[in-house]
Amino acid sequence: MNRFIDERKDNWQRLEDLLGLLQGTSLRGLSKVEVREFGALYRRAATDLAIARAESRDPKLINYLNSLVIRAHGKIYRAEGEGASIIWKFFSHDFPNAFRSNWKYMAVAGGTFVVFAILGFIATWIDVDFTHFVYLSGVVDNIQSGERWWTSLNDSNQIGASFIMSNNIIVSIRAFAMGALFGVGAFYDIAFFGAHVGSVFGACYKLNPPFGNDLASFVIGHGVIELSVVCFCGGAGMMIGYAIINPGDLTRAQALKKKGMEAAKIVIGCACFLVVAGLIEGFISPSTLPVGFKIATGVLTGIVMYSYLFLVGRNDDEVEELNAA
């Protein structure tokens, strides 16, 4: 029996270590490799328990193994039984909490977008040829001819909404993925996107002011969510880049894992926001509804989104800080 213990105690200790990592959480707290290891160690411990019961009269060993197996089984059973509660927990706590913990990155990305949008507008106002620099050469002809390309969405709202949602999600994921280039890639992507948007409006108001007003009335309904989300995803990319540059007290691998999980939560949540923006852009923005209704839609959806991100899922300490402020 001593030989039995010596041969297997390392496995039991490793299972103890993994259970320690899961304290207060589920198997989602482990990597895929660790989850597979956890399952294998659990099955070995269950087998060892059966052997100990059959061949050993040591109650301490049997009680230890029984406790170890019960604890591991509880984690596996909990993971299998969570179901829809995982989704609820994500949207009621994990996503908004990850956003608030890293809001400074989102603010940097948002500020970058605004600054370069203003610069793009000014540069285009001074010289319309700036549109070529941000790959908008064809838009000048559309503006001068008065062709309102967005009205075509009225002809097929379902197809338009699907295309818009897919395109917006791709743009946001690209801004996030560019963050792997030490954060510089995300900064460049957001800056270029800002200059692109600013240049469009600069060309509109320079060449055909009524056209610019029409474009603004089209964008306002969905733009608050859409532009914010692109900046959020860019900020999530910056999180990854900064973790590589400055991991703090953690190793780079640990910092990347920690920030990577938080950034992934932000991007997944933002993809859901983009579904809402795509629906508005496909059905409300190109419609003949009054401009006031579209403005109200943009303002209301913006208030709801930011209220959700900054207020939902706060713990007791956060509530106290909010009240004190």
Give the pTM: 0.70
Q: Which of 82, 107, 124 is the last residue of a domain?
A: 82
Please give the residue range of the domain that contains residue 213: 88-324
Flag whether pLDDT at 319 surpasses 60: no
Average pLDDT taken over every residue of the chain: 84
Give the span between the Cα atoms of 41 and 283, in whole angstroms: 53
Residue 288 sits in the same domain as residue 258 = yes
Flag whether pLDDT at 228 surpasses 90: yes
Residue 129 sits in the same domain as residue 266 = yes
Residue 98 sits in the same domain as residue 210 = yes
Average of pLDDT values for 260-286? 89
pLDDT band of residue 182 (cuts 50, 70, 90) is confident
Nearest to 246 by CA among 178, 184, 182, 188: 182
pLDDT computed for residue 324 by the predictor = 45
Residue 254 sits in the same domain as residue 160 = yes
Q: 28-42, 95-109, 295-309: which has the minimum mean pLDDT?
A: 28-42
Q: Which DSSP symbol is given to 94?
A: I
Residue 69 sits in the same domain as residue 118 = no
CA distances from 67 to 44, 49, 70, 81 (A): 14, 10, 5, 21
Residue 60 sits in the same domain as residue 192 = no
Residue 57 sits in the same domain as residue 93 = no
Q: 160-169, 178-187, 316-325: which has the minimum mean pLDDT?
A: 316-325
Q: What is the secondary structure of 121-190 as a DSSP string?
A: HHHHHH-TTHHHHTT-HHHHHHHHHT--GGGGGGG-HHHHHHHHHHHHHHHHHHHHHGGGTTTHHHHHHH
Flag whether pLDDT at 316 surpasses 60: no
Residue 305 sits in the same domain as residue 201 = yes
Average of pLDDT values for 180-187? 81
pLDDT computed for residue 325 by the predictor = 43
Residue 218 sits in the same domain as residue 243 = yes
pLDDT band of residue 152 (cuts 50, 70, 90) is low
Torsional sign, CA 95, 194, 173, 276: positive
Residue 211 sits in the same domain as residue 264 = yes
Residue 76 sits in the same domain as residue 110 = no
pLDDT band of residue 28 (cuts 50, 70, 90) is low
Torsional sign, CA 154, 157, 161, 162: negative
Of residues 272 and 74, more confidence is placed in: 272
Of residues 96 and 79, more confidence is placed in: 96
Q: Which of 82, 100, 118 is the last residue of a domain?
A: 82
Q: Which of 82, 115, 141 is the last residue of a domain?
A: 82
| pLDDT tens digit sequence for 276-302 | 988 898 888 888 899 999 999 999 999
Residue 93 sits in the same domain as residue 46 = no
- As for how many domains the chain has, the answer is 2
Which residues make Cβ contacts (< 8 Å) with residue 325, sequence separation at least 6? Answer: none
